[in-house]
Amino acid sequence: MNTAATTRFSYEFFPPRNDNMVRKLWRSVGQLERLDPLFFSMTYGALGSAQKVSIDSAIEMHQESPVAVAAHLTCANASAFEIEQIAKQYYDSGIRRFVALRGDAADSTDGESVYGYNSAVELVEALRKLGEVDISVAAYPEVHPQAQNAQSDLAHLKRKLDAGANRAITQYFFDADCFLRFRDQARRIGIEKPIIPGILPVHDYQKVKAFSQRCGATVPTRFEVKFASVANNPAAQYRLSLDLAVELCERLVREGVDHFHLYTLNQTDMCLDISLALGASVVTPQLFSAA
Ligand code: FAD
């Protein structure tokens, strides 16, 4: 079993869409960077103005924070040339970490890439050509909704890792056994690289329920009763969400997990409390790890 002191964290943010969100993002970054995380990641919106905001936010975060930044990049809806230009822009700005994703096609529901790269495998191969980079890819303990079956999904994950990704970060899940079974199956087909659990604190139960239906994550039925019992009590809701996340992570720590990727939704308090409960400590700025 890991000791709590060896448990490390990375935190995912999304690009802010207005001034209020900008302020909230930087407050969150400032609070979480005191925990000396392994990296921050900035999600990528491929369409319209979201694209520029994503790129600018990742680069600004890299320039302003002592913590290493991983830029998410999706390749659906774009030509290979466009993607290579964006990757080069990140690289030239000093960003050396990426989360390489296919993303979802804008004009169809089947999620297939419209042109350029056909899947995240080809994006990983392209990013490797930039130079010394660290690449994460996505994994799906409950199987990607467009996968033919669980086996082909895992085989595809293996191709992404064999193409040069350093680790996989999972879609969020709420059942530790689901992750552990997935990790066992991955090991059985020869995946040896780290599979990092993606942890989503339940900030808003109804929203999580709705989003989970779309992305194929199962919300345990016991959550319904638990969240109903605290429906009109924000403090009790917070406590419940915190306890559920810590309980899930503690079980995974007992099974050898030493890195959690927290989906912050740009809200710091819960992620800070989860990390502290799992043994993270606040460091003084001069003790930050080299990014
Ligand atoms: P891929 O792994 O390339 O493919 C998705 C699935 O399709 C595979 O799991 C596999 O089952 C199947 N598949 C594809 N190609 C083949 C093949 N050749 N043979 C067999 N099966 C195949 N979305 C964003 O828009 N922006 C983000 O910043 C973002 N960040 C994310 C971060 C994480 C950690 C995760 C888990 C997801 C993120 N997403 C993001 C969502 C992601 O873009 C979607 O889940 C998308 O539908 C799939 O992208 P992928 O990289 O997993 O695709």
Instruction: Render pLDDT for 31-64 as a digit per residue (tens, 0 to 9).
Output: 999 999 999 999 999 888 899 999 999 999 999 9
* 141 close to ligand 1 (CB < 6 Angstrom): no
**What would the mean pLDDT of 270-286 be, rounded to a whole number?**
89
* 158 close to ligand 1 (CB < 6 Angstrom): no
Is pLDDT above 70 for 109?
A: no
pLDDT of amino acid 128:
97
Q: Tell the residue number behind the tokens 């790269």, with chain if given.
A: 117
Which residue CA neighbors atom 52 of ligand 1 most closely? 138
* 104 close to ligand 1 (CB < 6 Angstrom): yes
Alpha-carbon distance of 251 to 271, in angstroms, equals: 17
Is pLDDT above 70 for 287?
A: no
Among 101, 212, 259, the mutation site with the greatest number of ligand 1 atoms within 8 A of its Cβ is 101
Which sequence positions are flagged as catalytic?
A: 12
Distance 120 CA to ligand 1 centre (A): 7
* Model confidence band, residue 5 (pLDDT cutoffs 50, 70, 90): low
Q: SS3 string of 90-135?
A: HHHCCCCEEEEECCCCCCCCCCCCCCCCCCHHHHHHHHHCCCCCEE
* Model confidence band, residue 191 (pLDDT cutoffs 50, 70, 90): very high
Is pLDDT above 60 for 111?
A: no
Among 144, 195, 259, the mutation site with the greatest number of ligand 1 atoms within 8 A of its Cβ is 144
Distance 231 CA to ligand 1 centre (A): 34
* 145 close to ligand 1 (CB < 6 Angstrom): no
Distance 94 CA to ligand 1 centre (A): 25
Alpha-carbon distance of 147 to 143, in angstroms, equals: 7
Is pLDDT above 90 for 283?
A: no
Which residue CA neighbors atom 44 of ligand 1 most closely? 103
Count Cβ atoms below 10 Å from residue 17 Cβ, excluding itself: 12
* 78 close to ligand 1 (CB < 6 Angstrom): no
Parallel, antiparallel or unpaired: strands 39-42 and 8-13: parallel
**What would the mean pLDDT of 88-95 be, rounded to a whole number?**
98
pLDDT tens digits, 197-242:
999 999 999 999 999 998 999 999 999 999 999 999 999 999 999 9
* Model confidence band, residue 107 (pLDDT cutoffs 50, 70, 90): low
CA-54 nearest atom, ligand 1: 28
* C-alpha distance from residue 172 to each of 4, 24, 26, 50, 175 (Å): 21, 23, 24, 23, 10
Q: Which two tokens stand for residue 254?
A: 């007992």
Instruction: Give the percent of the chain with pLDDT over 90.
Output: 86
* 101 close to ligand 1 (CB < 6 Angstrom): yes
**What would the mean pLDDT of 161-184 be, rounded to a whole number?**
98
Alpha-carbon distance of 92 to 63, in angstroms, equals: 12
* Model confidence band, residue 113 (pLDDT cutoffs 50, 70, 90): very low
pLDDT tens digits, 115-154:
789 889 999 999 999 999 999 999 999 999 999 999 999 9
User: What amino acid occupies position 136?
Assistant: S
pLDDT tens digits, 96-106:
999 999 998 87
Alpha-carbon distance of 133 to 146, in angstroms, equals: 29
pLDDT of amino acid 105:
80
